[in-house]
């Protein structure tokens, strides 16, 4: 398990050691999230970390403010390491995702540039 976690950290070290933007104030009653951003990285310019601190299954829409990530139009979104899908940002450089989490669990959302 430790080898797996260390390998994951090394793979995403650039973004995980970058600045943090708080997505919403943690309440302990709903999903909590923060966002790492770095527009200077070559591909993975943002990563959201989402937590479910409750004892219930939760499904919520989370709006990620991607203004400081450097994305302007399209972005590749991968939730928990799943296959990336292309999404288009809103006019205010935000992206809304529907996240479902089991009790006391976490997930991560990787946001990367789209190759043209």
Domains of the chain: 2-112 (2.60.40.1180)
pTM of the model as a whole: 0.90
CA distance 90 to 106: 25
pLDDT for the residue numbered 114: 80
Q: Could you tell me the strand order of the sheet in which 32-37 lies?
A: 19-22, 32-37, 44-52, 105-112, 74-79, 85-88
Tens-digit pLDDT profile for residues 41-95: 999 999 999 999 999 999 999 999 999 999 989 999 999 989 999 999 999 999 9
CA distance 33 to 7: 23
């Amino acid at each position: 398990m430790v080898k797996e976690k260390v390998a994951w950290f090394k793979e995403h070290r650039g973004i995980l050691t970058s600045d943090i933007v708080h997505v919403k104030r943690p309440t302990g009653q709903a999903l909590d999230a923060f966002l790492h951003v770095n527009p200077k990285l070559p591909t993975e310019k943002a990563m959201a970390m989402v937590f479910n601190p409750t004892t219930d299954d939760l499904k919520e829409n989370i709006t990620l403010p991607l203004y400081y990530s450097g994305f302007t139009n399209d972005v590749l979104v991968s939730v928990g390491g799943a296959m990336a899908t292309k999404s288009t940002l809103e006019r205010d450089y935000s992206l809304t995702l529907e996240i479902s989490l089991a009790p006391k669990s976490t997930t991560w959302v990787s946001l990367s540039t789209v190759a043209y």
